[in-house]
């Protein structure tokens, strides 16, 4: 393995034509530069320079080495610059993956603020279901994921970001006048719009229902949040949704109530591969995500408490 300082010294002497000038460029002593070049020559086994009292000239072997040494030194210097810029969060790339409900609600403003603060960082986002996120993080296709906590043995780490309440969006025929919440027993008496069985929320809901010995009456399985809300507005059933995806302003035909008895919520987490380290830029972004999500969910809970339909 050749000494990188020796290669730097060789290139500097070859390009300047002088050991003295090379020492000045490298901010080293002339004797140190001369020694490093001599060490390189000893390693290779050939002379790289003709040394006279008047000038320093490359030998044929030195000319052969120079072009390759210049490329090697340039590549190394470029790599160091990239690392310094990444450490200073001046450039780089962050790839992330997120469940659609979060990507459509909590994430856009966070990414805009981060982009404005760090314009040199390229952001890449994919939307997938919870199961797809786990696979992508496990296979290191992305730096990190954002999605619900999943109880499973794996190489993944789930770092809580925020707990989000689960709400029921109830069409007028099944309103609960004067109620501040809806229970699973209440929902068992209503037609419910179900998420696919692969959805994390559906799995949590099914487990809670099973523990109480309850089942839901459901004729529609709907994957898209906007479709589920459209079905609820049409009076086709009750939508069970994370609070952030429910209507954020009161609608005359809908009652929005938190699901309680038991309390239902989902924990949104930062999902990473165990043992891997995020880049400085990714760490800064995840910190911003954590702080922003907590504030936004708190605001949503405040809106929810004011959106309960009146007793009519």
Q: Which CATH architecture has domain 94-305?
A: 3-Layer(aba) Sandwich (3.40)
In the structure, what pLDDT confidence band is assigned to residue 310 with cuts at 50, 70 and 90?
A: very low
- Does the pLDDT at position 305 exceed 60? no
d(CA 75, CA 69): 10
Q: Is 56 helix (H, G, I), strand (E, B) or coil?
A: strand
pLDDT (tens digit per residue) in 16-39: 888 888 888 888 888 888 898 898
pLDDT (tens digit per residue) in 164-189: 888 999 998 899 888 889 999 999 99
- Does the pLDDT at position 312 exceed 60? no
CB 180 within 8 A of CB 310: no
The ranges assigned to domains in the chain are: 4-87, 94-305
In the structure, what pLDDT confidence band is assigned to residue 116 with cuts at 50, 70 and 90?
A: very high
pLDDT (tens digit per residue) in 185-206: 999 999 999 887 767 788 888 8
Instruction: Tell me what the mean pLDDT of segment 206-218 comes to.
Output: 87
pLDDT (tens digit per residue) in 47-105: 889 887 677 888 888 888 888 888 888 888 777 777 666 665 677 889 999 988 888 88
Instruction: Tell me what the mean pLDDT of segment 206-213 comes to.
Output: 88
| Residue in 124, 97, 139 with CA at minimum distance from that of residue 273 | 139
Which residues is 169 bridged to in the sheet? Answer: 239, 256
- Does the pLDDT at position 272 exceed 80? yes
Give Dmax over CA atoms of the chain in angstroms.
105
Q: What is the pLDDT of residue 303?
A: 58
On average, the pLDDT of the chain sits at 84
Q: Is 218 helix (H, G, I), strand (E, B) or coil?
A: coil
Q: What is the pLDDT of residue 302?
A: 60
CATH number of 4-87: 1.10.10.10
DSSP state letters, 133-196: HHHHHHTTSSSEEEEE-----SSEEEEEEEEEEEEEEEEGGG--TT-S-B-HHHHTTSBEEBPP
- Does the pLDDT at position 112 exceed 50? yes
Instruction: Tell me what the mean pLDDT of segment 295-304 comes to.
Output: 63
d(CA 163, CA 136): 23
Give the percent of the chain with pLDDT over 70: 90
């Amino acid at each position: 393995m050749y000494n990188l300082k020796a290669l730097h010294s060789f290139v500097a002497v070859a390009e300047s034509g002088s050991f003295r000038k090379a020492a000045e460029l490298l901010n080293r002593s002339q004797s140190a530069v001369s020694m490093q070049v001599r060490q390189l020559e000893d390693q290779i086994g050939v002379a790289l320079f003709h040394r006279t009292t008047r000038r320093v000239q490359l030998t044929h072997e030195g000319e052969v080495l120079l072009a390759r040494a210049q490329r090697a030194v340039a590549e190394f210097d470029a790599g160091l610059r990239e690392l310094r810029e990444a450490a200073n969060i001046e450039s780089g790339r962050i790839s992330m993956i997120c469940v659609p409900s979060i990507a459509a609600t909590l994430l856009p403003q966070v990414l805009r603020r981060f982009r404005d603060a760090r314009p040199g960082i390229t952001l890449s986002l994919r939307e997938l279901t919870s199961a797809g996120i786990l696979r992508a993080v496990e296979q290191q296709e992305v730096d990190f994921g954002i999605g619900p906590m999943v109880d499973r043995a794996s190489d993944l780490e789930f770092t809580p970001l925020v707990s989000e309440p689960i709400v029921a969006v109830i069409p007028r025929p099944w309103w609960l006048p004067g109620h501040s919440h809806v229970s699973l027993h209440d929902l068992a008496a209503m037609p419910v719009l179900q998420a696919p069985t692969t959805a994390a929320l559906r799995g949590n809901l099914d487990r809670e229902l099973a523990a109480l010995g309850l089942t839901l009456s459901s004729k529609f399985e709907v994957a898209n949040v906007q479709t589920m809300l459209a079905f609820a507005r049409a009076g086709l059933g009750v939508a069970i949704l994370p609070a952030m995806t429910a209507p954020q302003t009161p609608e005359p035909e809908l009652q929005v109530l938190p699901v309680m008895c038991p309390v239902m919520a989902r924990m949104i987490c930062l999902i990473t591969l165990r043992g891997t380290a995020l880049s400085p830029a990714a760490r800064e972004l995840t910190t911003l995500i954590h702080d922003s999500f907590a504030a936004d969910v708190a605001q949503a809970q405040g809106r929810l408490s004011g959106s309960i339909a009146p007793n009519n």
